[in-house]
Amino acid sequence: MVCNSYLMSVIVQTGQIGTILTRGRLHLRSAARTLYAGGAGLTFPCNCYFRSSTKMMVDSGAAASQGPVVHKFPEKDAGGYVSGGWKSEDGKLSCGYSSFRGKRATMEDCYDIKTSKINGQTVCLFGIFDGHGGSRAAEYLKQHLFEKLMKHPQFMTDTKLAISETYQQTDADFLDSGRDPYRDDGSTASTAVLVGNHLYVANVGDSRTIISKAGKAIPLSEDHKPNRSDERKRIESAGGVVMWAGTWRVGGVLAMSRAFGNRMLKQYVVAEPEIQDQEIDEEFELLVLASDGLWDVVPNEDAVSLAQAEEEPETAAIKLTETAFTRGSADNITCIVVRFHHDKADRHNPDLDPQACD
């Protein structure tokens, strides 16, 4: 079934014009699945295209030296499943995502994908946010984290510092945004920021990011679990306890040691990210970000093998999501697959940047 509605918006800012084009295309995969208009925030320069399999919200931000411009459209939530993808015009980078409610009664996963020009430099941002105790925290991160990051005064000059400070400030802002004593929800965040050919991966919680390099799966984040020796020591030094309650939990409650939100455990459950950075070269093939609904049942090596078998990142993301569900994942399942396309001629020319997004 195809929806022939088109939505176009043009963002104009000082010395720059960006075009956002979205096209909805609905698919009925089975009687058991219903479409979910998940929360994606997408911004594309005018030389990128975007293809989506559902009606969705576009939360777009184009950034220049004076800061990003954000344009938003209404989101429709039909519950169930969403996938889509985009590719740069020059074919150097492509991305696909897939998000499935799975066996859960509600959808608490969110994701965000943005690309922009900042001071003439191409920047791409990918994020997975897995909420717990509700979707409010994950939705807040989808709406604000990358927007705040691109506005950080040192984003381009000291990206690691900007990411660390933005994570923790966004956590504080989220806690200030709502003080309902009966709600204490939170969210993970696993993000990848590509500035030219330099990749920064930041993680809070048990979502995960891996990369395929020369066919090998390499984790770029380490899950924040309470029984991790360094995390347990940090929690206990702050006066907290880690105990077994079906799994290892902070205070017998939360099964992760770092998260956004979780006001009642904030002294122990911090939102300080662990950050890894890499220079992307011709050996880097795929980047996979996903919520634990995937990683609980799909090992890193399997994820790379499954994704590499598909030419299109969107197809790879769908395959990963479906594989996790088939293997018995009881959680929401969301993943993003980014493929790096290296031109052979570029490999021998150091003046060309094979990882530029446009």
In Å, what is the CA distance from 287 to each residue of 211, 215, 335?
A: 4, 12, 10
Q: What is the dihedral of CA 308, 208, 157, 87, to 10 degrees?
A: 30
Q: What is the chain's length? A: 358
What pLDDT score does 121 carry?
Answer: 85
**How far is 36 from 78, CA to CA, in rounded Å?**
5
**How far is 223 from 23, CA to CA, in rounded Å?**
35
**How far is 47 from 167, CA to CA, in rounded Å?**
30
What pLDDT score does 86 carry?
Answer: 87
**How far is 237 from 80, CA to CA, in rounded Å?**
42
What pLDDT score does 343 carry?
Answer: 75
pLDDT digits (tens, 9 = 90+) for 124-134: 999 999 999 99
Range list of β-strands (E), the chain? 6-13, 16-23, 48-52, 59-64, 67-72, 81-88, 93-100, 109-118, 121-132, 186-187, 189-195, 198-204, 208-213, 216-219, 242-244, 248-250, 260-261, 274-279, 284-290, 333-340
For a pLDDT cut of 70, what percent of the chain falls above it?
72
**How far is 271 from 224, CA to CA, in rounded Å?**
11
What pLDDT score does 342 carry?
Answer: 82
pLDDT digits (tens, 9 = 90+) for 81-134: 799 998 876 678 999 999 999 999 999 999 999 999 888 888 999 999 999 999
Query: Of 199, 337, 348, 168, nearest to 280 (Cα)?
Result: 199
Tokens 């950075």, residue located: 277
Q: Cβ of 274: how many Cβ atoms within 10 Å?
A: 14
**How far is 325 from 31, CA to CA, in rounded Å?**
16
What pLDDT score does 92 carry?
Answer: 82
What pLDDT score does 182 carry?
Answer: 65
Residues of the chain under the 70 pLDDT cut: 1-80, 89-90, 179-182, 344-358
What pLDDT score does 194 carry?
Answer: 95
Tell me the whole-structure pTM to 2 decimals. Answer: 0.77
State CA 104 to chain mean position distance.
Answer: 20
What pLDDT score does 235 carry?
Answer: 98
Residue-range domains of the chain with CATH: 6-222+275-347 (3.60.40.10)
pLDDT digits (tens, 9 = 90+) for 310-327: 999 999 999 999 999 999
**How far is 238 from 232, CA to CA, in rounded Å?**
10
In Å, what is the CA distance from 63 to each residue of 48, 317, 350?
A: 16, 28, 27
